[in-house]
Chains A and B, each alone.
Chain A
Amino acid sequence: MSERAKVVGLHGGLLVLLFALQFALPAYHHGNLARIMVLASFAIGYNLLFGYTGLLSLGHALFFAAGMYGAGLSVLHFGWSPAPALIVGLAAGAAVSALLGLLALRTAGVAFMIVTLMFAQAGYLAILYFGKWTYGDEGFVIARAARMLHGVDLSDPASRYFAALALFAVSLAVCLWLVRSRFGKTLIAIRENEERTRMLGYDTFARKLGAMVISGAISAAAGAVYGLLFGYVGATFASVQYSIFPLLWVLLGGAGVVVGPFVGTLFMFYLIDLSSGVTTAYMLIAGVVLVLLTLFAPQGLTGELRRRLWPWLP
Protein backbone atom coordinates (compact mmCIF):
# COMPACT_ATOMS: atom_id res chain seq x y z
CA MET A 1 0.00 0.00 0.00
CA SER A 2 1.38 3.42 -0.88
CA GLU A 3 2.11 5.90 1.87
CA ARG A 4 -0.61 8.18 0.61
CA ALA A 5 -3.17 5.40 0.73
CA LYS A 6 -2.18 4.53 4.29
CA VAL A 7 -2.49 8.15 5.38
CA VAL A 8 -5.89 8.60 3.74
CA GLY A 9 -7.03 5.21 5.03
CA LEU A 10 -6.09 5.91 8.63
CA HIS A 11 -7.58 9.40 8.89
CA GLY A 12 -10.61 8.62 6.74
CA GLY A 13 -11.12 5.45 8.73
CA LEU A 14 -11.08 7.37 11.99
CA LEU A 15 -13.78 9.74 10.71
CA VAL A 16 -15.94 6.88 9.44
CA LEU A 17 -15.56 5.13 12.79
CA LEU A 18 -16.59 8.27 14.66
CA PHE A 19 -19.57 8.63 12.35
CA ALA A 20 -20.64 5.06 12.94
CA LEU A 21 -20.14 5.21 16.71
CA GLN A 22 -23.01 7.64 17.21
CA PHE A 23 -25.47 4.85 16.44
CA ALA A 24 -23.82 2.40 18.80
CA LEU A 25 -22.86 4.41 21.86
CA PRO A 26 -24.99 4.78 24.97
CA ALA A 27 -26.19 8.34 25.64
CA TYR A 28 -23.54 9.15 28.24
CA HIS A 29 -20.57 8.26 26.05
CA HIS A 30 -22.29 9.71 23.01
CA GLY A 31 -22.37 13.08 24.76
CA ASN A 32 -18.78 12.68 25.95
CA LEU A 33 -17.51 11.91 22.47
CA ALA A 34 -19.17 15.03 21.05
CA ARG A 35 -17.38 17.08 23.67
CA ILE A 36 -14.10 15.26 23.03
CA MET A 37 -14.27 15.96 19.29
CA VAL A 38 -14.69 19.68 19.88
CA LEU A 39 -11.87 19.78 22.43
CA ALA A 40 -9.69 17.66 20.12
CA SER A 41 -10.20 20.31 17.42
CA PHE A 42 -8.86 22.84 19.90
CA ALA A 43 -5.88 20.54 20.45
CA ILE A 44 -5.37 20.18 16.68
CA GLY A 45 -5.04 23.95 16.48
CA TYR A 46 -2.55 23.85 19.34
CA ASN A 47 -0.59 21.02 17.74
CA LEU A 48 -0.02 23.05 14.57
CA LEU A 49 1.89 25.64 16.54
CA PHE A 50 3.52 23.44 19.16
CA GLY A 51 3.95 20.10 17.41
CA TYR A 52 4.79 21.29 13.92
CA THR A 53 6.26 24.77 14.34
CA GLY A 54 7.97 24.11 17.67
CA LEU A 55 6.43 27.11 19.45
CA LEU A 56 5.27 26.25 22.96
CA SER A 57 2.41 28.61 23.77
CA LEU A 58 0.99 28.85 27.26
CA GLY A 59 -1.78 31.17 26.12
CA HIS A 60 -4.11 29.23 23.84
CA ALA A 61 -7.01 29.72 26.21
CA LEU A 62 -7.02 33.26 24.86
CA PHE A 63 -7.83 32.00 21.36
CA PHE A 64 -10.38 29.43 22.55
CA ALA A 65 -12.07 32.15 24.60
CA ALA A 66 -11.87 34.67 21.76
CA GLY A 67 -13.90 32.26 19.63
CA MET A 68 -16.29 31.39 22.41
CA TYR A 69 -16.94 34.98 23.49
CA GLY A 70 -16.91 36.28 19.91
CA ALA A 71 -19.72 33.88 19.09
CA GLY A 72 -21.46 33.97 22.46
CA LEU A 73 -21.56 37.75 22.81
CA SER A 74 -22.91 38.21 19.28
CA VAL A 75 -25.73 35.82 20.11
CA LEU A 76 -26.34 37.40 23.50
CA HIS A 77 -26.18 41.08 22.64
CA PHE A 78 -27.10 41.18 18.94
CA GLY A 79 -29.32 38.14 18.76
CA TRP A 80 -27.36 36.69 15.84
CA SER A 81 -27.88 33.14 14.69
CA PRO A 82 -25.18 30.47 15.10
CA ALA A 83 -23.66 30.72 11.60
CA PRO A 84 -22.68 34.41 11.64
CA ALA A 85 -21.80 34.07 15.34
CA LEU A 86 -19.36 31.30 14.45
CA ILE A 87 -17.77 33.53 11.85
CA VAL A 88 -17.41 36.35 14.37
CA GLY A 89 -15.73 33.92 16.77
CA LEU A 90 -13.37 32.70 14.08
CA ALA A 91 -12.47 36.24 13.06
CA ALA A 92 -11.94 37.25 16.68
CA GLY A 93 -9.56 34.33 17.16
CA ALA A 94 -7.64 35.13 14.00
CA ALA A 95 -7.34 38.81 14.93
CA VAL A 96 -6.24 38.11 18.51
CA SER A 97 -3.69 35.51 17.41
CA ALA A 98 -2.28 37.85 14.75
CA LEU A 99 -1.86 40.60 17.31
CA LEU A 100 -0.32 38.29 19.89
CA GLY A 101 1.92 36.79 17.22
CA LEU A 102 3.24 40.16 16.12
CA LEU A 103 4.36 40.81 19.70
CA ALA A 104 5.22 37.40 21.10
CA LEU A 105 7.11 36.13 18.05
CA ARG A 106 9.74 38.76 18.70
CA THR A 107 10.77 36.47 21.56
CA ALA A 108 11.69 32.79 21.60
CA GLY A 109 11.84 29.82 23.95
CA VAL A 110 11.04 30.51 27.58
CA ALA A 111 10.29 34.19 26.95
CA PHE A 112 7.71 33.18 24.32
CA MET A 113 6.05 30.88 26.84
CA ILE A 114 5.88 33.62 29.49
CA VAL A 115 4.69 36.29 27.08
CA THR A 116 1.84 34.12 25.77
CA LEU A 117 0.95 33.16 29.35
CA MET A 118 0.82 36.81 30.41
CA PHE A 119 -1.29 37.97 27.48
CA ALA A 120 -3.74 35.14 28.02
CA GLN A 121 -3.94 36.05 31.69
CA ALA A 122 -4.62 39.66 30.75
CA GLY A 123 -7.40 38.41 28.46
CA TYR A 124 -8.91 36.35 31.24
CA LEU A 125 -8.80 39.31 33.63
CA ALA A 126 -10.33 41.53 30.95
CA ILE A 127 -13.31 39.17 30.74
CA LEU A 128 -13.75 39.53 34.51
CA TYR A 129 -13.24 43.30 34.36
CA PHE A 130 -15.85 43.86 31.66
CA GLY A 131 -18.34 41.79 33.61
CA LYS A 132 -21.13 44.14 32.63
CA TRP A 133 -21.11 42.62 29.15
CA THR A 134 -19.45 39.24 29.75
CA TYR A 135 -21.09 38.37 33.10
CA GLY A 136 -17.58 37.69 34.40
CA ASP A 137 -16.96 34.56 36.40
CA GLU A 138 -20.54 33.33 36.28
CA GLY A 139 -20.73 33.52 32.51
CA PHE A 140 -23.98 33.20 30.63
CA VAL A 141 -26.16 30.59 29.04
CA ILE A 142 -26.95 30.63 25.34
CA ALA A 143 -30.65 29.90 25.19
CA ARG A 144 -31.87 26.89 23.29
CA ALA A 145 -33.91 29.10 21.01
CA ALA A 146 -30.75 30.91 19.93
CA ARG A 147 -29.02 27.66 19.03
CA MET A 148 -31.09 26.87 15.91
CA LEU A 149 -29.06 26.51 12.75
CA HIS A 150 -31.30 26.46 9.64
CA GLY A 151 -33.99 24.67 11.58
CA VAL A 152 -31.58 22.22 13.20
CA ASP A 153 -31.60 22.31 16.99
CA LEU A 154 -27.94 22.28 18.08
CA SER A 155 -28.89 21.36 21.63
CA ASP A 156 -30.33 18.06 20.44
CA PRO A 157 -27.77 15.28 21.10
CA ALA A 158 -27.82 13.82 17.58
CA SER A 159 -27.33 17.12 15.77
CA ARG A 160 -24.80 18.17 18.38
CA TYR A 161 -22.77 15.03 17.74
CA PHE A 162 -22.96 15.64 14.04
CA ALA A 163 -21.86 19.29 14.35
CA ALA A 164 -18.95 18.28 16.57
CA LEU A 165 -17.92 15.63 14.06
CA ALA A 166 -18.12 18.16 11.23
CA LEU A 167 -15.84 20.57 13.08
CA PHE A 168 -13.42 17.78 13.93
CA ALA A 169 -13.37 16.46 10.36
CA VAL A 170 -12.65 19.91 8.95
CA SER A 171 -9.91 20.59 11.52
CA LEU A 172 -8.32 17.19 10.92
CA ALA A 173 -8.43 17.60 7.13
CA VAL A 174 -7.03 21.12 7.25
CA CYS A 175 -4.22 19.98 9.52
CA LEU A 176 -3.41 16.95 7.39
CA TRP A 177 -3.41 18.95 4.19
CA LEU A 178 -1.36 21.73 5.76
CA VAL A 179 1.42 19.62 7.19
CA ARG A 180 1.92 17.86 3.86
CA SER A 181 2.01 21.15 1.94
CA ARG A 182 5.03 23.31 1.18
CA PHE A 183 3.97 25.64 3.97
CA GLY A 184 3.74 22.81 6.48
CA LYS A 185 7.11 21.39 5.48
CA THR A 186 8.63 24.81 6.05
CA LEU A 187 7.03 24.93 9.50
CA ILE A 188 8.63 21.59 10.32
CA ALA A 189 11.96 22.96 9.08
CA ILE A 190 11.54 25.98 11.40
CA ARG A 191 10.86 23.62 14.30
CA GLU A 192 13.96 21.60 13.50
CA ASN A 193 16.38 24.48 12.83
CA GLU A 194 15.04 27.99 12.44
CA GLU A 195 18.34 29.70 11.65
CA ARG A 196 19.08 27.25 8.84
CA THR A 197 15.59 27.72 7.43
CA ARG A 198 16.08 31.48 7.41
CA MET A 199 19.40 31.08 5.64
CA LEU A 200 17.68 29.06 2.94
CA GLY A 201 15.72 32.21 2.11
CA TYR A 202 12.50 31.63 4.05
CA ASP A 203 10.95 34.53 5.93
CA THR A 204 10.58 32.54 9.13
CA PHE A 205 8.84 35.32 11.05
CA ALA A 206 6.06 35.55 8.46
CA ARG A 207 5.59 31.79 8.46
CA LYS A 208 5.52 31.54 12.23
CA LEU A 209 2.95 34.30 12.24
CA GLY A 210 0.94 32.39 9.64
CA ALA A 211 1.11 29.25 11.78
CA MET A 212 0.02 31.25 14.81
CA VAL A 213 -3.01 32.71 13.03
CA ILE A 214 -4.14 29.35 11.62
CA SER A 215 -3.61 27.74 15.01
CA GLY A 216 -5.51 30.57 16.70
CA ALA A 217 -8.35 30.40 14.18
CA ILE A 218 -8.83 26.63 14.60
CA SER A 219 -8.73 27.01 18.40
CA ALA A 220 -11.25 29.84 18.17
CA ALA A 221 -13.54 27.80 15.93
CA ALA A 222 -13.46 25.07 18.56
CA GLY A 223 -14.24 27.63 21.28
CA ALA A 224 -17.15 29.08 19.31
CA VAL A 225 -18.60 25.66 18.52
CA TYR A 226 -18.18 24.57 22.14
CA GLY A 227 -20.18 27.56 23.32
CA LEU A 228 -22.88 27.11 20.70
CA LEU A 229 -23.25 23.34 21.16
CA PHE A 230 -23.16 23.18 24.93
CA GLY A 231 -24.88 26.49 25.51
CA TYR A 232 -22.60 28.00 28.14
CA VAL A 233 -19.94 30.71 27.96
CA GLY A 234 -17.81 31.38 31.03
CA ALA A 235 -14.51 32.88 32.14
CA THR A 236 -13.14 29.47 33.19
CA PHE A 237 -12.56 28.72 29.52
CA ALA A 238 -10.17 31.68 29.37
CA SER A 239 -8.23 30.69 32.50
CA VAL A 240 -4.71 29.25 32.59
CA GLN A 241 -6.16 25.77 32.91
CA TYR A 242 -7.50 25.94 29.38
CA SER A 243 -4.06 26.90 28.12
CA ILE A 244 -2.53 23.92 29.91
CA PHE A 245 -5.17 21.43 28.71
CA PRO A 246 -4.30 21.52 24.98
CA LEU A 247 -0.60 21.26 25.86
CA LEU A 248 -1.40 18.24 28.00
CA TRP A 249 -3.60 16.57 25.37
CA VAL A 250 -1.04 17.12 22.64
CA LEU A 251 1.89 15.96 24.75
CA LEU A 252 -0.04 12.87 25.79
CA GLY A 253 -1.35 12.03 22.33
CA GLY A 254 1.82 12.91 20.46
CA ALA A 255 3.08 16.32 19.36
CA GLY A 256 3.62 16.72 15.64
CA VAL A 257 1.28 13.85 14.75
CA VAL A 258 -2.03 14.68 13.06
CA VAL A 259 -4.12 12.20 15.08
CA GLY A 260 -2.13 12.85 18.28
CA PRO A 261 -4.45 15.55 19.67
CA PHE A 262 -7.53 13.33 19.33
CA VAL A 263 -5.87 10.37 21.01
CA GLY A 264 -4.58 12.59 23.83
CA THR A 265 -7.91 14.31 24.40
CA LEU A 266 -9.77 11.00 24.42
CA PHE A 267 -7.40 9.43 26.94
CA MET A 268 -7.23 12.43 29.24
CA PHE A 269 -10.99 12.97 29.17
CA TYR A 270 -11.71 9.44 30.31
CA LEU A 271 -8.84 9.44 32.79
CA ILE A 272 -10.37 12.46 34.51
CA ASP A 273 -13.90 11.11 34.08
CA LEU A 274 -12.99 7.85 35.81
CA SER A 275 -11.03 9.57 38.58
CA SER A 276 -13.84 11.99 39.37
CA GLY A 277 -15.59 9.07 41.05
CA VAL A 278 -12.63 8.82 43.44
CA THR A 279 -11.74 12.45 44.14
CA THR A 280 -12.84 16.00 43.39
CA ALA A 281 -9.19 16.98 42.96
CA TYR A 282 -9.20 15.73 39.38
CA MET A 283 -6.52 18.17 38.27
CA LEU A 284 -4.17 16.00 40.31
CA ILE A 285 -4.38 13.44 37.51
CA ALA A 286 -3.46 16.13 34.98
CA GLY A 287 -0.43 17.12 37.04
CA VAL A 288 0.80 13.58 37.49
CA VAL A 289 0.37 12.81 33.78
CA LEU A 290 2.26 15.98 32.82
CA VAL A 291 5.20 15.09 35.03
CA LEU A 292 5.27 11.45 33.91
CA LEU A 293 5.11 12.49 30.24
CA THR A 294 8.02 14.90 30.51
CA LEU A 295 10.00 12.26 32.35
CA PHE A 296 9.29 9.11 30.39
CA ALA A 297 7.42 9.71 27.13
CA PRO A 298 8.12 13.13 25.62
CA GLN A 299 6.95 11.69 22.27
CA GLY A 300 3.47 10.87 23.51
CA LEU A 301 1.36 7.84 22.56
CA THR A 302 1.22 8.23 18.79
CA GLY A 303 4.77 9.58 18.75
CA GLU A 304 5.90 6.25 20.18
CA LEU A 305 3.72 4.50 17.63
CA ARG A 306 5.45 6.38 14.82
CA ARG A 307 8.87 5.67 16.25
CA ARG A 308 8.28 1.96 16.68
CA LEU A 309 5.78 0.86 14.04
CA TRP A 310 4.47 3.43 11.58
CA PRO A 311 7.24 5.78 10.46
CA TRP A 312 4.90 7.17 7.78
CA LEU A 313 2.49 8.69 10.30
CA PRO A 314 2.16 12.39 9.36
Chain B
Amino acid sequence: MELGPYILLASIEGSVTAAVLALTAVGLSLVFGVMRVVNIAHGEFFMLGAVIAWFVAQALGAHPAVGFAAALIVAPLVVGAIAVAADVTILKRIDYDPERTIVATIGLLYIIQQLTLMGYGPDARPVEAPFNSRLAIPWWEWKDGALQMYWPWGLATTSYKLAVIGAAALVLLGVWAFMTHTRAGLLMRATQQDREMALAFGIPVERVYALVFGIGAGLAALAAVLIVPISQAHYLMGADPLLLSFIVVIIGGLGSLPGTVVAAILIGLSDGIVSVFFSPTLAKILATLLVALVLVFRPGGLFGTRQA
Protein backbone atom coordinates (compact mmCIF):
# COMPACT_ATOMS: atom_id res chain seq x y z
CA MET B 1 0.00 0.00 0.00
CA GLU B 2 1.17 3.52 -0.63
CA LEU B 3 1.75 5.92 2.21
CA GLY B 4 -1.33 8.07 1.51
CA PRO B 5 -3.99 5.38 2.01
CA TYR B 6 -1.99 4.06 4.94
CA ILE B 7 -2.14 7.40 6.72
CA LEU B 8 -5.86 7.68 5.98
CA LEU B 9 -6.45 4.29 7.54
CA ALA B 10 -4.36 5.27 10.55
CA SER B 11 -6.37 8.47 10.95
CA ILE B 12 -9.65 6.58 11.00
CA GLU B 13 -8.27 4.19 13.60
CA GLY B 14 -6.92 7.24 15.42
CA SER B 15 -10.31 8.92 15.37
CA VAL B 16 -11.86 5.90 17.06
CA THR B 17 -9.15 6.04 19.73
CA ALA B 18 -9.65 9.78 20.04
CA ALA B 19 -13.40 9.43 20.44
CA VAL B 20 -13.18 6.86 23.22
CA LEU B 21 -10.29 8.71 24.83
CA ALA B 22 -12.16 12.00 24.82
CA LEU B 23 -15.05 10.44 26.74
CA THR B 24 -12.77 8.79 29.27
CA ALA B 25 -10.60 11.86 29.73
CA VAL B 26 -13.54 14.23 30.06
CA GLY B 27 -14.68 12.05 32.96
CA LEU B 28 -11.29 12.36 34.64
CA SER B 29 -11.09 16.05 33.88
CA LEU B 30 -14.54 16.72 35.29
CA VAL B 31 -13.59 15.04 38.56
CA PHE B 32 -10.32 16.95 38.76
CA GLY B 33 -11.89 20.24 37.74
CA VAL B 34 -14.75 20.22 40.20
CA MET B 35 -13.37 18.17 43.08
CA ARG B 36 -9.65 19.01 42.74
CA VAL B 37 -8.70 15.38 43.24
CA VAL B 38 -6.95 12.90 40.99
CA ASN B 39 -8.76 9.60 40.61
CA ILE B 40 -6.19 6.87 40.01
CA ALA B 41 -8.99 4.29 39.85
CA HIS B 42 -10.48 5.96 36.77
CA GLY B 43 -9.05 3.29 34.46
CA GLU B 44 -10.70 0.60 36.58
CA PHE B 45 -14.10 2.24 36.12
CA PHE B 46 -13.39 2.02 32.39
CA MET B 47 -12.53 -1.66 32.74
CA LEU B 48 -15.64 -2.33 34.83
CA GLY B 49 -17.75 -0.79 32.06
CA ALA B 50 -16.35 -3.26 29.54
CA VAL B 51 -16.71 -6.25 31.86
CA ILE B 52 -20.27 -5.35 32.79
CA ALA B 53 -21.07 -4.97 29.10
CA TRP B 54 -19.90 -8.55 28.60
CA PHE B 55 -22.04 -9.80 31.49
CA VAL B 56 -25.09 -7.94 30.21
CA ALA B 57 -24.63 -9.24 26.68
CA GLN B 58 -24.20 -12.80 28.02
CA ALA B 59 -27.23 -12.58 30.27
CA LEU B 60 -29.57 -11.33 27.54
CA GLY B 61 -28.22 -13.65 24.91
CA ALA B 62 -30.64 -12.29 22.31
CA HIS B 63 -29.62 -10.42 19.19
CA PRO B 64 -26.25 -8.68 19.71
CA ALA B 65 -27.89 -5.29 19.23
CA VAL B 66 -30.22 -5.89 22.19
CA GLY B 67 -27.42 -6.90 24.53
CA PHE B 68 -25.28 -4.02 23.39
CA ALA B 69 -28.06 -1.46 23.77
CA ALA B 70 -28.79 -2.73 27.26
CA ALA B 71 -25.10 -2.57 28.15
CA LEU B 72 -24.94 1.03 26.96
CA ILE B 73 -27.45 1.93 29.63
CA VAL B 74 -26.71 -0.56 32.41
CA ALA B 75 -22.91 -0.36 32.52
CA PRO B 76 -22.57 3.43 33.02
CA LEU B 77 -25.35 3.40 35.63
CA VAL B 78 -23.87 0.53 37.64
CA VAL B 79 -20.34 1.93 37.46
CA GLY B 80 -21.62 5.41 38.33
CA ALA B 81 -23.40 3.95 41.35
CA ILE B 82 -20.23 2.16 42.47
CA ALA B 83 -18.31 5.43 42.14
CA VAL B 84 -20.90 7.33 44.16
CA ALA B 85 -20.67 4.68 46.85
CA ALA B 86 -16.87 5.00 46.88
CA ASP B 87 -17.17 8.76 47.12
CA VAL B 88 -19.53 8.66 50.05
CA THR B 89 -17.74 5.92 52.00
CA ILE B 90 -14.12 6.87 51.30
CA LEU B 91 -13.37 10.23 49.67
CA LYS B 92 -15.87 12.20 51.73
CA ARG B 93 -14.46 10.77 54.94
CA ILE B 94 -10.91 11.86 54.14
CA ASP B 95 -12.29 15.28 53.23
CA TYR B 96 -11.02 15.08 49.63
CA ASP B 97 -7.47 15.68 50.81
CA PRO B 98 -5.57 15.59 47.47
CA GLU B 99 -2.70 13.32 48.54
CA ARG B 100 -4.73 10.94 50.66
CA THR B 101 -7.28 10.69 47.85
CA ILE B 102 -4.57 9.46 45.51
CA VAL B 103 -3.52 6.80 48.01
CA ALA B 104 -7.12 5.78 48.62
CA THR B 105 -7.93 5.55 44.91
CA ILE B 106 -4.81 3.44 44.38
CA GLY B 107 -6.31 1.11 46.96
CA LEU B 108 -9.62 1.26 45.13
CA LEU B 109 -7.84 0.42 41.88
CA TYR B 110 -6.50 -2.82 43.31
CA ILE B 111 -9.79 -3.70 44.98
CA ILE B 112 -11.80 -3.29 41.75
CA GLN B 113 -9.17 -4.96 39.60
CA GLN B 114 -8.66 -7.96 41.85
CA LEU B 115 -12.36 -8.47 42.55
CA THR B 116 -12.89 -8.49 38.79
CA LEU B 117 -10.12 -11.07 38.47
CA MET B 118 -11.88 -13.22 41.05
CA GLY B 119 -15.36 -12.83 39.58
CA TYR B 120 -14.67 -12.61 35.85
CA GLY B 121 -11.39 -14.39 35.49
CA PRO B 122 -8.16 -13.66 33.66
CA ASP B 123 -9.50 -14.16 30.10
CA ALA B 124 -10.13 -11.49 27.49
CA ARG B 125 -13.67 -11.81 26.16
CA PRO B 126 -15.34 -10.10 23.21
CA VAL B 127 -18.73 -8.49 22.99
CA GLU B 128 -20.36 -8.69 19.61
CA ALA B 129 -20.96 -5.42 17.81
CA PRO B 130 -24.61 -4.55 17.08
CA PHE B 131 -23.74 -4.01 13.43
CA ASN B 132 -20.44 -4.41 11.71
CA SER B 133 -20.45 -4.13 7.94
CA ARG B 134 -17.20 -3.64 6.14
CA LEU B 135 -16.84 -0.37 4.28
CA ALA B 136 -14.14 -0.17 1.64
CA ILE B 137 -12.51 3.21 1.20
CA PRO B 138 -11.57 4.58 -2.20
CA TRP B 139 -8.33 6.35 -3.01
CA TRP B 140 -7.28 8.47 -5.93
CA GLU B 141 -4.19 8.31 -8.01
CA TRP B 142 -2.80 10.33 -10.89
CA LYS B 143 -2.82 8.15 -13.95
CA ASP B 144 -2.45 9.09 -17.60
CA GLY B 145 -2.90 12.77 -16.79
CA ALA B 146 -6.21 12.27 -14.96
CA LEU B 147 -7.28 11.61 -11.38
CA GLN B 148 -8.62 8.12 -11.05
CA MET B 149 -10.50 6.54 -8.20
CA TYR B 150 -9.65 3.00 -7.15
CA TRP B 151 -10.14 0.69 -4.14
CA PRO B 152 -6.80 -0.21 -2.60
CA TRP B 153 -6.70 -3.68 -1.14
CA GLY B 154 -7.03 -3.66 2.66
CA LEU B 155 -8.18 -0.07 2.90
CA ALA B 156 -11.42 -0.46 4.79
CA THR B 157 -13.17 0.35 8.00
CA THR B 158 -16.42 -0.83 9.55
CA SER B 159 -19.72 0.88 10.03
CA TYR B 160 -19.37 0.24 13.75
CA LYS B 161 -16.17 2.24 14.01
CA LEU B 162 -17.79 5.21 12.35
CA ALA B 163 -20.75 4.84 14.70
CA VAL B 164 -18.40 4.95 17.71
CA ILE B 165 -17.00 8.27 16.52
CA GLY B 166 -20.51 9.64 16.02
CA ALA B 167 -21.77 8.36 19.38
CA ALA B 168 -18.83 9.84 21.27
CA ALA B 169 -19.39 13.21 19.61
CA LEU B 170 -23.07 13.07 20.60
CA VAL B 171 -22.29 12.22 24.21
CA LEU B 172 -19.72 15.02 24.43
CA LEU B 173 -22.30 17.45 23.09
CA GLY B 174 -24.69 16.11 25.70
CA VAL B 175 -22.13 16.70 28.48
CA TRP B 176 -21.57 20.21 27.21
CA ALA B 177 -25.32 20.93 27.15
CA PHE B 178 -25.68 19.43 30.61
CA MET B 179 -22.92 21.60 32.04
CA THR B 180 -24.14 24.82 30.45
CA HIS B 181 -27.92 24.46 30.34
CA THR B 182 -29.03 22.56 33.42
CA ARG B 183 -29.26 23.49 37.05
CA ALA B 184 -27.07 20.56 38.10
CA GLY B 185 -24.42 21.70 35.61
CA LEU B 186 -24.60 25.20 36.97
CA LEU B 187 -24.10 23.93 40.52
CA MET B 188 -21.07 21.94 39.35
CA ARG B 189 -19.51 24.95 37.68
CA ALA B 190 -20.20 27.11 40.71
CA THR B 191 -18.51 24.53 42.94
CA GLN B 192 -15.57 24.36 40.55
CA GLN B 193 -15.15 28.15 40.65
CA ASP B 194 -15.12 28.52 44.40
CA ARG B 195 -15.96 25.79 46.84
CA GLU B 196 -16.23 28.03 49.88
CA MET B 197 -18.51 30.45 48.09
CA ALA B 198 -20.65 27.57 46.86
CA LEU B 199 -20.97 26.32 50.43
CA ALA B 200 -21.87 29.81 51.61
CA PHE B 201 -24.63 29.99 49.01
CA GLY B 202 -26.09 26.77 50.30
CA ILE B 203 -25.06 24.56 47.37
CA PRO B 204 -25.00 20.95 48.64
CA VAL B 205 -21.32 20.59 47.77
CA GLU B 206 -21.08 17.02 49.05
CA ARG B 207 -23.95 15.88 46.84
CA VAL B 208 -22.41 17.74 43.90
CA TYR B 209 -19.12 15.92 44.52
CA ALA B 210 -20.79 12.52 44.68
CA LEU B 211 -22.67 13.28 41.47
CA VAL B 212 -19.53 14.48 39.68
CA PHE B 213 -17.57 11.42 40.76
CA GLY B 214 -20.42 9.21 39.54
CA ILE B 215 -20.71 11.00 36.18
CA GLY B 216 -16.94 10.91 35.69
CA ALA B 217 -16.89 7.15 36.24
CA GLY B 218 -20.03 6.68 34.14
CA LEU B 219 -18.39 8.42 31.18
CA ALA B 220 -15.40 6.10 31.44
CA ALA B 221 -17.73 3.10 31.54
CA LEU B 222 -19.66 4.37 28.53
CA ALA B 223 -16.43 4.79 26.58
CA ALA B 224 -15.50 1.21 27.45
CA VAL B 225 -18.84 -0.17 26.29
CA LEU B 226 -18.32 1.58 22.95
CA ILE B 227 -14.83 0.14 22.50
CA VAL B 228 -15.40 -3.38 23.81
CA PRO B 229 -16.72 -4.77 20.49
CA ILE B 230 -13.47 -3.60 18.90
CA SER B 231 -10.97 -4.57 21.58
CA GLN B 232 -12.08 -7.03 24.31
CA ALA B 233 -12.93 -7.01 27.99
CA HIS B 234 -10.03 -7.91 30.27
CA TYR B 235 -9.39 -7.23 33.94
CA LEU B 236 -6.10 -5.41 33.27
CA MET B 237 -7.41 -3.24 30.43
CA GLY B 238 -7.72 -0.13 32.67
CA ALA B 239 -4.05 0.83 32.71
CA ASP B 240 -3.76 2.24 29.19
CA PRO B 241 -6.91 4.40 29.29
CA LEU B 242 -5.76 5.76 32.66
CA LEU B 243 -2.35 6.69 31.30
CA LEU B 244 -3.76 8.18 28.11
CA SER B 245 -6.43 10.12 29.99
CA PHE B 246 -3.74 11.53 32.24
CA ILE B 247 -1.79 12.63 29.23
CA VAL B 248 -4.83 14.23 27.68
CA VAL B 249 -6.01 15.97 30.85
CA ILE B 250 -2.56 17.30 31.66
CA ILE B 251 -1.78 18.49 28.17
CA GLY B 252 -5.25 19.96 27.72
CA GLY B 253 -4.91 21.96 30.92
CA LEU B 254 -6.08 20.45 34.19
CA GLY B 255 -9.83 20.71 34.58
CA SER B 256 -10.54 22.41 31.27
CA LEU B 257 -13.16 20.45 29.31
CA PRO B 258 -12.64 22.03 25.86
CA GLY B 259 -8.86 21.69 26.29
CA THR B 260 -9.38 18.04 27.21
CA VAL B 261 -11.38 17.31 24.06
CA VAL B 262 -8.87 19.07 21.81
CA ALA B 263 -5.99 17.21 23.44
CA ALA B 264 -7.84 13.89 23.15
CA ILE B 265 -8.32 14.36 19.42
CA LEU B 266 -4.69 15.35 19.03
CA ILE B 267 -3.34 12.44 21.09
CA GLY B 268 -5.77 9.92 19.63
CA LEU B 269 -4.92 10.87 16.07
CA SER B 270 -1.21 11.05 16.66
CA ASP B 271 -1.33 7.75 18.57
CA GLY B 272 -2.76 6.11 15.47
CA ILE B 273 -0.26 7.76 13.14
CA VAL B 274 2.76 7.54 15.44
CA SER B 275 2.30 3.81 15.88
CA VAL B 276 2.63 3.46 12.12
CA PHE B 277 6.20 4.68 12.39
CA PHE B 278 7.28 3.78 15.92
CA SER B 279 6.86 0.72 18.07
CA PRO B 280 3.95 1.10 20.50
CA THR B 281 6.34 0.81 23.45
CA LEU B 282 8.50 3.64 22.21
CA ALA B 283 5.37 5.72 21.55
CA LYS B 284 4.28 5.11 25.14
CA ILE B 285 7.70 6.04 26.50
CA LEU B 286 7.62 9.31 24.59
CA ALA B 287 4.06 9.99 25.72
CA THR B 288 4.79 9.45 29.42
CA LEU B 289 7.90 11.59 29.25
CA LEU B 290 5.85 14.27 27.50
CA VAL B 291 3.30 14.34 30.33
CA ALA B 292 5.98 14.53 32.97
CA LEU B 293 7.84 17.32 31.20
CA VAL B 294 4.66 19.29 30.54
CA LEU B 295 3.81 19.10 34.24
CA VAL B 296 7.31 20.26 35.15
CA PHE B 297 7.70 23.08 32.67
CA ARG B 298 4.15 24.06 31.66
CA PRO B 299 1.93 23.21 34.64
CA GLY B 300 -1.03 25.02 33.05
CA GLY B 301 -1.06 22.55 30.15
CA LEU B 302 0.23 23.05 26.64
CA PHE B 303 -2.83 25.03 25.65
CA GLY B 304 -3.75 26.35 29.06
CA THR B 305 -3.00 29.86 30.19
CA ARG B 306 -0.73 30.33 33.15
CA GLN B 307 -2.67 31.14 36.27
CA ALA B 308 -1.46 33.84 38.63
Contacts and interface: CB of A to CB of B under 8 A. Distances in A.
Contact of B99 (A56, A106, A244): A56
A279 B118 contact: yes
B94 to A, nearest CB: 6
Given A114-B295, A281-B115, A294-B104, A109 B98 contact: yes
Prevailing SS type, chain B contact patch: helix
A172 to B, nearest CB: 25
Given A106-B296, A129-B282, A113 B118 contact: no
Interface string A261-281: 000000000000000000111
A113 to B, nearest CB: 6
Given A114-B291, A125-B281, A284 B103 contact: no
Contacts of A289: 107
Prevailing SS type, chain A contact patch: helix
Interface string B85-128: 00000100110001110111011111101110110000000000
Contacts of A118: 246, 288-289, 291-292, 295
B147 interface: no
A290 B110 contact: yes
B279 interface: yes
B152 interface: no
Contacts of A8: none
Nearest to A298: B100
Contact of B114 (A244, A287, A298): A287
A87 interface: no
Contact of B110 (A58, A104, A279, A284): A284
6 contacts: A109-B99, A110-B38, A110-B98, A247-B103, A247-B106, A295-B90
Given A280-B117, A287-B111, A288-B107, 16 more contacts: A104-B292, A113-B99, A119-B288, A122-B285, A125-B285, A129-B285, A247-B103, A247-B106, A281-B114, A282-B114, A287-B108, A287-B109, A291-B111, A293-B103, A294-B107, A295-B93
Interface of B: 38, 90, 93-94, 98-100, 102-104, 106-111, 113-115, 117-118, 243, 246, 250, 279, 281-282, 284-285, 288-289, 291-293, 295-297, 299
